[in-house]
Amino acid sequence: MSTTVALLSEPGSGSVTIEAIARRAKVGKQTIYRWWPTKSALLIEAFTGEARNAVADIDSGSVRSDLEHFLARTLQAVQAPVVRGALRALIAGALADEESADILRGYAVERREALAAILRRGVERSQVAADADVGLAVEQAFGYIWYHLILADMTPPDSTAEGLTSALLRQLGHVE
């Protein structure tokens, strides 16, 4: 994984190939294909690990603080040129074939679940209304993030995480 991420982090790495990854890792292409059936599968696994590290689950005891942290770190991560480029390539792959789409869906499910866990903790702590539609809030948050990811010329301002957090918490019946 670290080889893939390192290659993607280098300038001009927009179209990293399995051959380049194998060469850098000093293994044969067949070794890579034994573990990952497609380039998309390898990229998603690399990004899932990176996303877990970049947007680590914290539990400060405050749904507002945890949600804002998650959204700020996620927005920051997707603005990095290497991440933006790789995720856009994965989106293109997902549009082209169902296997890549399944892989991308798996990644999205994991990230949505991480956000939903934060909101469910808010419900459990009575910081969010018991009947709040957590699923809708998660979809709205990621809809915003993916919208900005896909439209390269639209980088959200630094205050976006705070504003998005406030809007979602109002919708969820947040209690201070």
pLDDT in tens, 57-82: 789 999 999 999 999 988 888 877 76
- 83 band by pLDDT with thresholds 50, 70 and 90: confident
Domain edges within the chain: 38-171
**For residues 5 and 46, what is the distance between their CA atoms, to the nearest angstrom?**
7
**pLDDT of res. 1:** 44
State residue 63's pLDDT score.
97
Distance, in Å, from the CA atom of 170 to the CA atom of 148, rounded to the nearest integer, reads 22
How much of the chain exceeds pLDDT 90, in percent? 34
Structure confidence at residue 60 (pLDDT): 94
pLDDT band per the 50, 70, 90 thresholds, residue 2: low
Q: Check residue 136 and give its pLDDT.
A: 97
Cβ–Cβ < 8 Å for 117, 58:
no
* Confidence at residue 40, expressed as pLDDT on a 0 to 100 scale: 73
Residue 83 tokens read as 């991440």
Q: Is 30's pLDDT higher than 50?
A: yes
DSSP state of 49: H
Q: Determine the pLDDT at residue 35.
A: 85
pLDDT at residue number 17: 76
How many residues belong to the chain?
176
Question: In the prediction, which pLDDT does 13 show?
Answer: 47
Whether the CB-CB separation of 47 and 83 falls below 8 Å is answered with yes
Q: What's the mean per-residue pLDDT of the chain?
A: 82
**CATH 1.10.357.10 assigned to 38-171:** yes
Per the CB < 8 A criterion, the answer to whether 43 and 86 are in contact is yes
Digit-coded pLDDT (tens) for 101-146: 888 888 889 889 999 999 999 999 999 999 999 999 999 999 998 8
Instruction: Provide DSSP, 88-155.
Output: HHHHHHHHH-HHHHHHHHHHHHHHHHHHHHHHHHHHHTTSS-TT--HHHHHHHHHHHHHHHHHSTT-P
pLDDT in tens, 101-112: 888 888 889 889
Region for residue 12 given its phi and psi (left: phi exceeds 0; alpha: psi -120 to 50; beta: otherwise): left
More confident residue, 147 or 15: 147
